[in-house]
Amino acid sequence: MTPPARRILQLSSDWKWTGPAEPMLELAGALRARGAALWLACPAGPEAAGRSLAGEAAARGLAPALAVAPGRAARPLGDRPDVARLRAFLERHDVGIVHCWHTRDHVLALRAARARRRAGRTAVVRSWRAAEPLPREPWSRWLLGAGADGLLVPSPALAAALAGTGGGRPVAGHFGAVDLARFAPAPPDTELGRSLGLAPGGRVLGVVARVQRHRRFDLLLAAAALLFSRVPEARLVIVGRGTHREELAERPAQALGIADRVLFAGYRDADYPAVLRALDLLAFLVPGSDGTCRAVLEAAACGVPAVTSRRGALPEIVADGETGLVADEAPDALAAAWEALLCDEPRRRAMGAAARRRAEALFTPQRFADTAERLYDAALRRRGAPAQLWSRTSSW
């Protein structure tokens, strides 16, 4: 019979293809490849929405086994139908691990698995998506403490800091996961470069981020203006969409007199890895809704070094001076770091090769699954489940 820690329900109450959705599916695919009995429960996306978690999961052979209503906030009365369906699903499939990714699905899981948790038959594991200290409000402290049988965070340093807190529930830190076959070093696509407005032999700095106020586009553009004054042939490519692009990026670039050197690639899908390979260097200042900073991992896998700030897990993801540089959040500091690498091709290439090696060692779905497996075991032991959990042998 399949051990409890290998009977896993991945649960999300967000239908959108954003934030932690892709890491969740990368983990699910890796666990399923190891023989886990794994199911997905999530809302169906609106027909007019385009990409959705359910649609992307189905395309990977992981069509949702259970639909839950969408929503960010837990509803004591309104969630009763979802709780009942979840409870029945857990019993029918004897699910040992419910892995939740948002607050509402965490609350749904606790309500549905109450009796099974008491009996030591199910553990509820929560992913916390930010590599930052946990909220201090009493409700959040309880939910992410005693209300979780295990906590998964996108930062080994944060996991170490949280050890022994929250009533002693186990905490594991992980880097994100990236498809190393899709994101791999390759020569730049010259035709794609021309379509982006890049001249052959230019020095290309790129940023992959949704154009939002908190992503510090003011700092990015101020530093870019300094860079262009020193390296006139450099170009900045902004990859991503956002309803505030004109306000936050286009008009400020014009005001700084650099609009002709700031290129907007928009949102990319099938050719996204090729767009990354068109960059000489990635800039990444502020983590978004995905604390694993997936764009930095993907660039590293493509052999593109990064210059980052010290926010979140970025100083852990980038080995400063080896796979990129970690810089202060000041225009002078950023421009100097960008210039140092853009104008030193041997150093930049060496850092890119080191970034790929680091991706192969640390940013794989298999390593993510290793971390999750150990956490699942610890979470079930905390619930008093039998010790024979993962029977697979490995060199952990």
Query: Does 272 have pLDDT greater than 70?
Result: yes
Looking at residue 396, its pLDDT comes to: 28
Query: Does 49 have pLDDT greater than 90?
Result: no
Pick the CATH number of 190-362 from 3.40.190.10, 3.40.80.10, 3.30.1330.10, 3.40.50.2000: 3.40.50.2000
DSSP-derived 3-state class of residue 372 = helix
Query: Does 393 have pLDDT greater than 50?
Result: no
Query: Does 87 have pLDDT greater than 70?
Result: yes
Query: Does 1 have pLDDT greater than 70?
Result: no
Query: Does 2 have pLDDT greater than 90?
Result: no
Cβ proximity of 389 and 3 under 8 Å: yes
According to the 3-state scheme, what is the secondary structure of 221-288?
A: HHHHHHHHHHCCCEEEEEECCCCCHHHHHHHHHHHCCCHHHEEEEECCCCCHHHHHHCCCEEEECCCC
Taking CB atoms within 8 Å and a gap of at least 24, the contacts of 269-273 are 271/189, 271/192, 272/239, 273/182, 273/183, 273/184, 273/298, 273/302
Q: What is the DSSP letter of 4?
A: G
Q: Which two tokens stand for residue 195?
A: 């379509």
Query: Does 304 have pLDDT greater than 90?
Result: yes
Model confidence at 223, pLDDT cuts 50, 70, 90, reads very high
Query: Does 389 have pLDDT greater than 70?
Result: no
Looking at residue 394, its pLDDT comes to: 35
Q: How many CA atoms lie within 13 A of 358 on its CB side?
A: 25
What pLDDT digit, counting tens, does each position of 252-265 carry? 999 999 999 999 99
Query: Does 174 have pLDDT greater than 80?
Result: yes
Give 259: exposed, middle or buried? Use CB within 10 Å, 0-12, 13-18, 19+.
Answer: middle
Q: What is the mean pLDDT of residues 304-313?
A: 96
Same fold, 4-177+364-383 and 190-362: yes
Q: What is the mean pLDDT of residues 226-243?
A: 94
Query: Does 395 have pLDDT greater than 50?
Result: no
Sign of CA dihedral 69, 294, 279, 333: positive
Report the percentage of the chain scoring pLDDT > 70: 97
Looking at residue 290, its pLDDT comes to: 84
Least-confidence region, from 134-138, 251-255, 263-267, 385-389: 385-389
CA distance 292 to 175: 6
Query: Does 315 have pLDDT greater than 50?
Result: yes
Class of domain 4-177+364-383: alpha beta
Q: What is the mean pLDDT of residues 337-364?
A: 98
Looking at residue 222, its pLDDT comes to: 97
CA distance 43 to 71: 9
pTM of the complete model beyond 0.85 = yes
Q: Which two tokens stand for residue 64?
A: 């949702």
Q: What is the mean pLDDT of residues 154-161?
A: 95
Query: Does 191 have pLDDT greater than 80?
Result: yes
Domain extent listing, the chain: 4-177+364-383, 190-362
Query: Does 282 have pLDDT greater than 90?
Result: yes
Sign of CA dihedral 146, 149, 152, 155: positive
Q: Whose CA is closest to 131, among 272, 308, 276? A: 308
Looking at residue 386, its pLDDT comes to: 62
Looking at residue 213, its pLDDT comes to: 86
Cβ proximity of 284 and 296 under 8 Å: yes
Phi, psi of 323 (to 5 degrees): -115, 5
What residues are paired with 127 via a beta bridge? 152
What single letter denotes the amino acid at residue 78?
G
